[in-house]
Structures are given as structure tokens and as C-alpha cells.
Chains A and B, each alone.
Chain A
Amino acid sequence: MKRILVSIKRVVDYNVRVRVKPDHTGVMTDGVKMSMNPFDEIALEEALRLKEQGFAEEVLVVSIGTADCQQQLRTALAMGADRAIHIQTDADIEPLTAAKVLLTLIDREQPMLAILGKQAIDDDCNQTGQMLAALWDRPQATFASKVEISGDTARVTREVDAGLETLEIDLPAVITTDLRLNEPRYVKLPDIMKAKKKPLDILELTSLGISINTQLKSVLFEPPAQRIKGVMLKNPQELVDALRRKGLV
């Protein structure tokens, strides 16, 4: 079966203003709204569109994390994914470990494409997709803003610093999404009901035989240096004067 695998990370909602805990041991997440990582929502939307266009038959979503991740997997199923796998763990998972976990699922499910978000907006690592592609020994097209499939290849337009770059990659491959790839659909109420009946398998991470020792230890969390509010000026003349005094114009 032609399958697309999409990974879904549960993260603090992007509207939440994250604050560091007073004791510097982490950030405050208690009672904070959690959501699907926005880039993963785009990844899922792209997979659903490819399926709707007939390039794939099944969209499989995967999340690694605590039992709460199942909420985001249910949302993904409601959006239109066919099947979900939850890899359960309470440990903090670094990108290399996430990539190894995804690789075991790839070995099992043999997808034609794995679509990941380009970065998780909690750790802002921007690593997992590239690491997965390396371990899988397959092409990667990161920061995608356009994906066109024809036969066994895909043409992917990538958002790079210099502008847009187009790569042609052989499938199977890994694609990571940028924000302008698409606009994710809204979930409709009846779909939420239907999603309850879709399969969601749970696997313990420990059963996959992957070591999860974190190699990078976050030992301290601090708020960023604050910029101090400056001065409000009355008119453009004052602005030009101020900039001139600083030697900026």
C-alpha cells in the first residue's frame, strides 16, 4: 500500500507566552494549552492532499511522548489521517532518538514518503527530519514550500536563505515542511466523532529496543535578556534627530 507517514509532536500552543519556572528547572507547562506542532499540522495537510490527489492510499500519523499525545493523534485522525501509532514514553526525547524511533516504524510500514515539520516550536531544534533521512539513507527535502509528485520522484521547492531552490528526489524520501506549503484544514465536528473509531495503536518505546539516554542535558533555564522599552517620539523630525545622534543615519 502506498503510504505516507507523518509525525506529530505535542507542543505548547504557539499563542502561549512561555515563561521560565522561578527555580530555573524548566518552563511552566502546567495548565498551559497544548497543540499539534504547527509545522506538523502542515505536514499532515500535505499528506492528506497527496492522498486526495491519488498519490497515496493511507496516511499514518505517529507521535512519541506521554499518553497525552493521543489527544493530538485524535485531532490528526479527525483531520483525515487513517491510522495512528502512539509511541509511549515519559522520557524527554531528543531528535536523534525521535529519528531512530521513526526509522523503526518506517522499517515496519514501508512508506513512500515521511513528512515531518521542519522544527518543533518547543525545542526549536530543526533536526529530526534530516536525521531520519540520514539513518534511512534516503533523500531529504527540507523547508518545503511546494511538493509535486510524479511517478517515483518528487519535485520539491525549498525556502532557503537566498530564495527558492528546487530539488528532484527519488522516493521514498523525507520532506520537512515550511509554513507556506499549505493552509491546514479545520476539523469538523462530525469528523471528531468518526475519528474515535479509527485505529490508534499504542507501543511502549522501551519495546523498540532503542536506548533513550539523553546525551545533551539541559541544566539551567533562564528568561531571555529583556530589551528595555525605549522612548516614544512625537514626529519624524525627532526620529531623524535621534538616529543621527546615534550615528545610524
Chain B
Amino acid sequence: MNKILIVAEHNGSQLNPSTAKCVTCARGIPDASITVVVFASDPIEVAKAAATITGVSQVLTVTHLAHAHPIAALIAPQLATLAKEFTHIFGPSTTFGKDLMPRTAALLNAPQLSDIMLVESATRFKRPIYAGNAITTVEVAAEIQLVATVRTASFEAAPSNHNSAPIESVNSTASLPSHTRFIGTSAARNGRPDLQTAARVISGGRALGSAENFNILYSLADQLGAAIGASRAAVDAGYAPSDMQVGQTGKIISPELYMAFGISGAIQHLTGIKDARTIVAINKDADAPIFEIADFGLVGDLFQIIPELKLLLKTAQ
């Protein structure tokens, strides 16, 4: 029997879809029972949502005011205590999971497998290395407790249905350190779809030339109900905020449609979009590497093409 513990990611009131993706990954392990744990100041809504995910057999909640914002140094000791009786401990490969899981693994003296992209058995997995230029198959000895992060772009979210797994509140015995204090977040929430879960993403690169010019992408995105992404060059130049960066060191995404405007297609960028269903590239350089992987390419000046696209899409609707 494989007992899998998944750490829920949430924003205090809503479960992040990354959790249901971890469940899909866990369901790939044979003979598994899946438990989701929610650390929150008020976990009930999130726990209820987790309990409806197909395949979840139990939801645990750990309530503490300090969990209003997830701080790895606070959650890890509690997670490590709970994890004792589990064979696998999974979290998403988001900044939340990347921060928390290795800290937990070290407390358990367990190795961590980062970015699972495929499950072959309870002890055999595939993961990308070298910015996705190679895929390695990793084996773990059966007696080893395995901590892992799940590459969310590789798994569909497990559906929510009439499942209603029991929810149980647990008291944590670990004492919480005071050495790490949350000060604040500056999230530029703009009412647009979330980059990591959006079905369509419009992305811009260095070619945009300024933050003002990025606005033409925003208006196209609004027309398509798309999220906005950016290359590192665009973020570094200050045209777009850092949370929009797509790629090896930004977000790894898997939308239905990815449209890249004025992005050359450096390997570090392509790593982030390989799992997109359809990639469209618009670049004035016919030799830009991005065309090598694009399903549809169009050579031309984005400043001319975008207004035309907007017009064509309008008449199409």
C-alpha cells in the first residue's frame, strides 16, 4: 500500500488547481491512498474543495493563525511530523512547493525528487534536467520515504465530483519558530486569468520596447480572454512584472494556445512552453529559433500584425 500525502496550495479561501494536478500524479502510483493536508488560518472552505477531488480519500486540516500566509519554515516541521506514516509526500512545483518541500525533506532526512513529469511506478519517475534538454528516469529504493514536487504542466487537474472525503482536524505538536516573519505581498492582480492555469496566453518579448507598448498585448489578451506572459528580457527591461516571466526560471505553463510576440525562442524560454497545445510565433526575423517549435508562424512586425489580428478577431466574433 502506498500512502501519499499532498500539501494543498491555496490563497486562504480558494484551492489552487496545482493541488488537483498533484492528485492526478499521485493516482498514477498503483495501490495508493491519497491524503491532502491543508495548512491555513481558516481551512474549512479549502478543505471542502479538496475533499471533492476524485481520488482523495482523506483531508487533514492544520489550523493556526500563522498559516494565514504560507511560510516554509513554519509549515515544514509540522508537515514533517505528519509525514512520518506516509510513503510519498508531494507538493506542486510552484514557488509555494519549491520553497516548502525541500525543507520538509531535509527534516525527514529524505531525498527529494523535483518536477515529476511522469510516474512509471511507486519507485520510478521521469523528470526534466538541463532546462528540459534531457529527461531522466529516476529510481528510488522501495524503503525510502520520497518527497517530491510535481511538475504541474505535465498533469491535468483531477476532476472534482461528488466525492466527499472525510475532513479531519489535526493538532500540530511542532513548535513554530518566530525567526521568519511575513511582511507583505505586492501582487498586481489585474482581473485577468491566472498565467499558470489560463487556456490562452499572449506573451511579449524584448521587441515590445517599452511598458506602454506592452498595452497592445493587454488589449489583445482582453479580447481573447487570455493571460499575459513575458520573456525574461521583457521583464528585465521593466516592460512587465516578474510574475509574468515564462521559462526555465519563470513559470512553466501548458495552455491550449500560446502566442509569442517578438520572442526569439531561447532554450530557457522554450522550456516554459513546451507543453502548450498550440504555439503561435510572430517575429520579424524568419530565422528566429521560436519558429522551429511553433505550430503556426508568421513573419512580420508585431506592431502591424496585432492591430490586424484584433480587427479580424472582432469581425470573427
**Which A residues contact B (CB, under 8 angstroms)?**
12, 14, 17-20, 27, 94-96, 99, 118-119, 121-135, 137-143, 145, 155, 158-170, 173, 178-180, 215-224, 227, 229-240, 242-244, 246, 248-249
Determine whether B106 belongs to the interface, using a CB cutoff of 8 Å to chain A.
yes
Instruction: Report, nearest first, the 8 A-B pairs whose CB atoms are least far apart.
Output: A163-B187, A230-B295, A130-B102, A134-B106, A131-B106, A127-B102, A220-B137, A166-B183
B136 near A218 (CB under 8 angstroms)?
Answer: yes
A-B contact pairs, 16 of them (CB 8 A): A18-B130, A130-B99, A130-B100, A142-B72, A155-B183, A161-B243, A161-B251, A163-B243, A167-B71, A167-B181, A216-B111, A223-B133, A231-B295, A232-B298, A236-B305, A240-B316
Decide if B309 touches A179 in the complex (CB within 8 Å). no
Bound CA span A95–B98, Å:
13
| A119 cross-chain contacts in B, Cβ below 8 A | 249
Which among B48-56, B156-164, B208-216, B286-294 touches the partner chain?
B286-294
Q: Looking at the complex, which one of A145, A161, A218, A223 makes contact with B138 (CB distance below 8 Å)?
A: A218
Q: Chain A nearest CB: distance from B311 CB in Å?
A: 8
- Nearest CB to that of A248 among chain B residues? B257
Beta-carbon nearest neighbor of B117 in chain A: A224
Q: Which residue of B lies closest to A134 (CB)?
A: B106
- Decide: A223 near B135, CB < 8 A? Known: A126-B114, A139-B73, A169-B181: yes
CA distance A139 to B99 in the complex (A): 12
Check A179/B249 contact, CB under 8 A, given A139-B73, A236-B309, A246-B278: yes
CB nearest to A222 among chain B residues: B135
Q: Does B256 contact A (CB under 8 A)?
A: yes
Asked whether B235 is an interface residue with its Cβ less than 8 Å from the other chain, the reply is yes
The 0/1 profile, CB within 8 Å of A marked 1, for residues 171-210 of chain B is: 0000001011111111111000000100010000000000
Decide: B196 and A161 in contact? CB cutoff 8 A.
yes
Q: Determine chain B's interface SS by DSSP, over half rule.
A: mixed
B232, CB-defined interface residue at 8 Å = yes
Whether B129 is near chain A, meaning CB under 8 Å from some CB there, is yes
> What is the interface of chain B, defined by CB distance below 8 A to chain A?
11, 69, 71-73, 76, 94-96, 98-107, 109-115, 128-141, 144, 177, 179-189, 196, 200, 224, 232, 235-236, 241-243, 248-249, 251, 256-257, 267-268, 274, 278-280, 291-299, 305, 308-309, 312-313, 316
Q: Are A19 and B187 closer than 8 Å at their CB atoms?
A: no
Residue B130 contacts which of A27, A140, A165, A231 (CB distance < 8 angstroms)?
A27
- How many angstroms from the CA of A96 to the CA of B104 in the assembled complex? 11
Report the separation of the CA atoms of residues A218 and B279 in the bound assembly, to the nearest whole angstrom. 31
Please name the residue on chain B nearest to A145 by beta carbon. Answer: B242
Q: A95-B102, A131-B105 are in contact. List 18 more A-B contacts (CB 8 A).
A: A14-B268, A122-B129, A124-B128, A124-B129, A143-B99, A164-B187, A165-B184, A165-B185, A218-B137, A222-B135, A223-B135, A227-B274, A229-B292, A229-B294, A231-B295, A232-B291, A239-B298, A240-B309
CB proximity of A218 to chain B, nearest CB, Å: 5
Taken together as a complex, chains A and B put the C-alpha atoms of A244 and B241 apart, in Å, by 31
Judge whether A124 and B115 touch: CB under 8 Å: yes
Nearest CB in chain B to that of A168: its residue: B181
How close is B306's CB to chain A, nearest CB, in angstroms? 9
User: Which residues from A are CB-within-8-Å of B181?
Assistant: 167-169
Task: Please determine whether A229 and B291 come into contact, CB atoms closer than 8 angstroms.
Answer: yes
Chain A neighbourhood of B103, CB < 8 A:
130-131, 133-134, 140
Asked whether B129 lies within 8 Å of A224 as measured between CB atoms, the reply is: no
The 8 Å CB contact of B297, one of A18, A19, A164, A233, is A233
Instruction: Indicate if the CB atoms of B72 and A130 lie closer than 8 Å.
Output: yes
- Which one of B98, B279, B293 contacts A142 once the chains associate, using CB atoms below 8 Å? B98
What's the Cα separation between A160 and B291 when bound, in Å?
30
A125 to B112, CA, bound (A): 9
Q: Is the CB of A231 within 8 A of B297?
A: yes
C-alpha spacing A235/B309, complex, angstroms: 10
Q: Which residues of B contact A130 (CB under 8 A)?
A: 72, 98-103, 106
What's the Cα separation between A243 and B186 when bound, in Å? 36
Q: Which residues of A contact B184 (CB under 8 A)?
A: 165-166
Instruction: Check if A232 sits within 8 Å of B130, measured CB to CB.
Output: no
Closest chain-A Cβ to B112's Cβ sits at a distance in Å of: 5
Query: Cβ of A95 and Cβ of B112 under 8 Å apart?
Result: yes
| Complex Cα–Cα for A84 and B94 (A) | 34
Q: Tell me the complex Cα distance, A165–B111, Å.
A: 28
Whether A20 contacts B185 by the Cβ 8 Å rule is: no
B257 contacts across to A, CB distance below 8 A: 243, 248-249
Residue of A nearest to B309 (CB): A236
Known contacts A224-B133, A248-B257; A162 and B183 CB within 8 A of each other: no
- B111 partner residues in chain A, CB cutoff 8 A: 94-96, 215-216
